[in-house]
A and B are shown apart, each in its own frame.
Chain A
């Protein structure tokens, strides 16, 4: 196709083609024109490219934010790192030479742009990439010299290139590590600060716990004191209760004594100590009608351990009848003052005799062992004795 034969329309279609605004049918015609090798097609494409560029150049540039470059730099660093790792693995294998660049290829970057499947607008040539042809120069030297020279140059270039790229990579890595270290230090400082706060809180809690323990101990002590005081009060109350019971007994005995003394027909019997207890003296008030009696004694000897006094009526023909056992009144402890006027060895017993009791001959007091077994008569010595009329 010559310049004269090219329809004017084809130049216009080239504009549409470059601007990515062409119909598929027209696109085919343009691609055929380009494929024909017609220099005018290339010139038309170049012109159309300028038109499109003018469209792009009319855009108002936008200043990128600083962090945009930082993101890109980080991406590149990661890619370099990954690539470096791959290279290390490769060099450990039996690869002949190391290179940081991919092998030459007929694929160029512009053609790799995903767009319509046609010749790139930007490509002004479809020739494969070719380096400088060293073959002509090499033919001036014997083959082995050429080979050695080429190998040496290649090795030197390869090592130089490797060292340079390695140094660059190391410097990037150092910067990357530095940034990581800085971040770690910041995080560590934050953790330490949090630890400080936690320790402070822990100390405060410990102090509060100690204060609570002290309060608890103090309360516990107070409770002990109160419990002790209560125990003492209970003990005193029990003593008071015993005393009250004792006094009630005595009051009852006194009442009976008074009643017996004042009642008509009451017999009074003086009871003297026997040779077993010569100092002992006593008095029996006996209401034969009511079968009621009160016996009081003085100067009785203190009871030996396990012994008690027992009061008896001696009857005929039934023999001795027990009227009950009794102990000496005590004048010890808190009641000593109250009993100070009472003679030591005093005892008093008020009771009733069996209603069918007859034929009373005498009244006696014997010293008996403390036992639950009822006795039919005195077993120990008679310490007091008096005849009854």
Chain B
């Protein structure tokens, strides 16, 4: 197990090339792949997106600064962004175009579609999962529709057949519920 931090590894990419990328790949490609598959539902496309994200890190590693945030967050946000771009290209419409809720989107919006080939889960991941698991199904569905589906409130309302206000309320309540859960976990005040 390599003890070097993510930032150290990014700094080493220019000198060590793919050896440093390999360590980051081993660390984060599983969660990136999970995210991209959650959005795209197609394993081959998801793999391409994840590899593209690493290529971007590889090419721009010289521009990366420790002050800019966590490498993991950067890779995940990049993966989400690229995956949503692909999803929109596939739908061949503008970003906020309202599309029909097809089987693929349905699977995207469905919670708990988890692969089973993972044996060990980190303690931190378990805690994070507990935060999401605290959500009522309708709130979780609304949040995931926005985050993984890249949909606007209006689009989510149309797809779910719910009033716009209801959808907005569910997303907001869900996020607050998650935040409060984290605050309680970390012993912070809820106010």
Contact = CB atoms under 8 A, between A and B. Distances in A.
Interface of A: 12, 15-16, 19-21, 23, 47-65, 68-69, 71-73, 75-77, 79-80, 100-102, 104-105, 107-115, 120-125, 127, 129, 161, 164-165, 168-169, 172
A80 B59 CA distance: 9
Interface string B15-52: 11111011001000111011101100000000100110
Given A49-B73, A62-B37, A115-B77, A69 B22 contact: yes
Contacts of B21: 72, 76
Interface of B: 14-19, 21-22, 25, 29-31, 33-35, 37-38, 47, 50-51, 54-65, 67-70, 73-74, 76-78, 81, 85, 114-118, 121, 124-125, 128-129, 131-133, 143-144, 146-147, 150, 153, 171-172, 175-176, 178-179, 182
Contacts of B146: 19-21
A249 B65 CA distance: 135
A15 B33 CA distance: 25
Nearest to B58: A76
Given A64-B29, A111-B68, 9 more contacts: A15-B179, A20-B147, A57-B31, A58-B129, A61-B115, A75-B55, A79-B55, A109-B57, A120-B77
Contacts of B38: 59
A72 B55 contact: yes
Contact of A109 (B50, B74, B144, B178): B74
B147 A57 contact: no
> DSSP class of B's interface residues: helix, strand, loop or mixed?
helix
Nearest to B173: A12
Contacts of B68: 108-111, 120, 122-123, 125
Most-contacted residue by chain A among B67, B124, B153 (CB, 10 A): B67
Given A19-B147, A52-B147, A61 B74 contact: no
B135 to A, nearest CB: 10
Nearest to A160: B15
Q: Which 8 A-B pairs have the closest CB atoms?
A: A57-B128, A61-B30, A60-B114, A101-B62, A122-B69, A21-B146, A58-B132, A15-B175
A127 B67 contact: yes
22 contacts: A16-B171, A21-B171, A47-B179, A48-B175, A51-B178, A58-B129, A59-B35, A61-B30, A61-B121, A61-B125, A63-B118, A64-B33, A68-B50, A72-B51, A73-B22, A102-B63, A108-B65, A109-B57, A109-B64, A109-B74, A113-B77, A121-B73
B77 A61 contact: no
A57 B25 contact: no
Nearest to B178: A51
Given A115-B77, A122-B69, A105 B63 contact: yes
B30 A64 contact: yes
